[in-house]
Amino acid sequence: MNHRTLNHDQFAELDAHNSIAIAVGTLAAAVGIGLQLWIAGLAIWILGHAAAVWLTRTEPQFIGVFARHLRLRAPVLDA
C-alpha cells in the first residue's frame, strides 16, 4: 500500500506541485534565514506559494508547458 505523499501525483485542488513548493520554500528560507530578512522571506513564501497554487489550479500541466516553452523558445528577432 502506497502512502499518499510517496506518490508523485499532484492534487490540483489541494496544493501546488511538489517541485515548485520545494523551490519556493528553499528560496524563502534562504532569504529569511540566510540574509536574516524574516519578513521578506515570509512574504516570498506566501506570495510564491499562492502563485504556485493559482497556476496549478489554472493549468495542472503548467510545469511541462513551462519547460517546453523554455526548451523551444522562438528565436529573437535579429535587428
Query: pLDDT digit string (tens) for 2-27?
Result: 555 555 555 444 567 788 888 999 99
17-54 tens-digit pLDDT: 788 888 999 999 999 999 999 999 999 999 999 998 89
pLDDT at 4: 58
The number of residues making up the chain comes to 79
**Nearest alpha carbon to residue 22 among 4, 5, 39, 36:** 5
